[in-house]
Amino acid sequence: MFAGFYAVRFQLNDAVGRSVMYAHDGKLLGGNSAFAHIGSYEERGEEIDIEVKTVRHNPDPNYRAMAGTDEATLIAKGLADGERYRFKGALKEVPGAVFQSVMTPVTEEALPVAGGVGEGGIVNGLYSIHLRMLDGVEGGLTGVMLLSNGRILGGDASFYYLGTYTSQNGRWKGQILNQEHTPALGENPVFGGHEVGIGFSGTCDEAGALVEATALAGKRSLRLTAALKLMRRA
């Protein structure tokens, strides 16, 4: 079965990128440090057809669009290769360019047990997340986060996030484990090389959420804040 949570390495001609992706019930939701990936899939025997739209969520110009445009549409076909899936296709906006990707599963045993969500709780969906360190510490993260009935799945170009939360009456709280799928020590010295545990609490509404959190990275305890913006309901 194709459904599951994946770390993704993709390539457009010679340009290489990375992201995370969650496949479930015909839907694809994921992204990385600058772009959200929203699409669908259909299993046709051994072959999988996908269509994915890319939308920028981070305005930082240092994150350049591989397609040369902030919004692009991928059409691709894939096959299983052991536990991985390999896809090949093209972007509608870049005729002649060859797209390839490898999707590697995050083991089901690592997925968290869901928390409880009551009336007025945070909306299920795909969110962009922009995290900022406090207390004069340089650094932060941007990525995407899928919230689904008390479970957190997300990530960016270097990390994937697994967590659980509870939410009710415009409040939410929970915990996240941040882990590398691609070495990030040089690009992100705060979190790179560490398995980082994060406890958080904050407010939420139909458009997004705010959190204050404490992260334990190695022997360092770090305070941070983050803003989430809903990009697609799920």
CATH of the domain at 143: 2.40.128.380
Confidence label for 108 from pLDDT (cuts 50, 70 and 90):
low
Among 36-50, 97-111, 159-173, name the one with the lowest average pLDDT.
97-111
pLDDT at 189: 65
Residues 45 and 118 grouped into a single domain: no
Domain extent, residue 143, equals: 109-233
pLDDT at 1: 84
44 Cβ contact list (under 8 Å, min separation 6): none
Q: Which residues contact 178 (CB under 8 A, 6 or more apart)?
A: 159, 160, 161, 191, 195, 196, 197, 198, 215
Instruction: Say whether both 61 and 149 belong to one domain.
Output: no
pLDDT for position 186? 64
Q: What are the residues whose beta carbons fall under 8 Å from the beta carbon of 109, sequence distance 6 or more?
A: none
In this structure, the answer to whether residues 73 and 183 fall within a common structural domain is no
Q: Are 62 and 141 in a shared domain?
A: no
Of 105, 139, 160, the position where a domain reaches its end is 105
Give 132-187 pLDDT, tens digit per residue.
Answer: 999 998 888 899 999 999 999 999 999 999 999 999 999 999 999 999 998 875 66
Which CA distances in Å does 9 have to 14, 15, 192?
13, 11, 18
Q: What tens digit of pLDDT does each residue of 115-130 get?
A: 889 999 999 999 999 9
**So what's the pLDDT on residue 183?**
86
Return the closest-CA partner of residue 179 out of 165, 166, 190, 192.
192
Choose the final residue of a domain: 105, 132, 154: 105
Same structural domain, 120 and 225: yes
Residues 113 and 96 in one domain: no
Q: Are residues 184 and 208 in the same domain?
A: yes
Average pLDDT, the chain: 93
Tell me how far CA of residue 148 lies from CA of 38, 98, 162, 224, 234, in angstroms: 15, 33, 12, 23, 8
Q: How many domains does the chain have?
A: 2
Assess whether 95 and 31 both reside in one domain: yes
Residues 162 and 87 placed together within one structural domain of the fold: no
Which of 57, 76, 105 is the last residue in one of the domains?
105
Distance set, CA 8 to CA 21, 38, 86, 167, 202 (Å): 7, 14, 10, 30, 30
What pTM was estimated for this model as a whole?
0.93
Whether residue 25 is found in the same domain as residue 95 = yes
